[in-house]
Amino acid sequence: MKRKHLQTVIFGPQGSGKGTQGALLAERFDVPLIGAGDLFRAEIVQKSTLGNLVNQYVTQGLLAPDELVNAVMARQLKKVNVTKGFVLDGYPRNVEQAMHLDRILKVNLVIQLKIEDKEVLRRLGGRLQCMKCKNVYHEIDAPPSRKGVCTLCGNKLERRADDTEEIIKQRLKAYHYITAPLAGYYRQKGVLLAVNGDQAIPYVFEDIVKKIAKLGFLP
Ligand SMILES: [Zn+2]
């Protein structure tokens, strides 16, 4: 089988570990990890017309419309060297954006991290953060050595304001409604790979690497 370049989109709900898996994959295959959030910040920092528009949405805590998101991505993606491949995280977020991405970049693999809602609630709901050194813990999965206290700096641990059950459930609902349909879109194109994200990080990664090797993606 011919060895293929990794031209990958990774998506999944918050708490699925897609950021971590994306980073591991990019490192293993020595390709750039493209975070949509970083590209947005880059556009805002440049204070371009687009950047200023995006900033207006961001500062009001609003979701930027597809046209604007697509325009920023088109501009910023041109600046990334993707000749050896890439891992893209955080874009596209819906089918409309996926159709736009198809016009600017060839994607040959889309990894969907699947995870039960109740596991997302468990993961995010049990998350604790040190507000001083920003280290993150989990009540059960990664507890601090002393309950409620940061192991690194001794500061008090807190739950993040947006880690409430209600907010997590709202975000999951939005994910299922807006982003999850990407699976159908990419399955039809024959590039979808669904992976069980309901396991520990190293197992998920091993699973991904094994499955994509069979498809001709080798580091
Ligand atoms: Zn700390």
Among residues 4, 122, 171, 211, which one is catalytic? 171
Q: Using the Cα atoms of residue 21, residue 23, residue 29 and residue 35 in order, give the sign of their dihedral.
A: positive
Among residues 47, 134, 156, 160, which one is catalytic? 160
pTM: 0.92
Is position 146 annotated as part of the catalytic site?
no
Cα-trace Rg, the chain: 18
Q: Report how far ligand 1's centroid is from the alpha carbon of 154 (Å).
A: 6
Q: Which of 17-26, 156-165, 187-196 shows the lowest mean pLDDT across its residues?
A: 156-165
- Within 13 Å, how many C-alpha atoms sit on residue 23's CB side? 6
- In CATH, the architecture of 6-117+179-214 is 3-Layer(aba) Sandwich (3.40)
Q: Report how far ligand 1's centroid is from the alpha carbon of 129 (Å).
A: 8
Is position 189 annotated as part of the catalytic site?
no
Distance between CA atoms of residues 176 and 85, nearest Å: 28
pLDDT tens column, 122-138: 999 999 999 999 999 99
Residue 59 CB coordination number (10 Å): 9
Domain ranges of the chain: 6-117+179-214
Q: Report how far ligand 1's centroid is from the alpha carbon of 28 (Å).
A: 30
Is position 171 annotated as part of the catalytic site?
yes
Cβ–Cβ under 8 Å, residues 108 and 114: no
Q: Report how far ligand 1's centroid is from the alpha carbon of 134 (Å).
A: 6
Q: Report how far ligand 1's centroid is from the alpha carbon of 162 (Å).
A: 19
Confidence of residue 2 (pLDDT cuts 50, 70, 90): low
Is position 28 annotated as part of the catalytic site?
no
Q: Report how far ligand 1's centroid is from the alpha carbon of 141 (Å).
A: 17
Mean pLDDT of 81-104: 96
Q: What is the pLDDT of residue 1?
A: 57
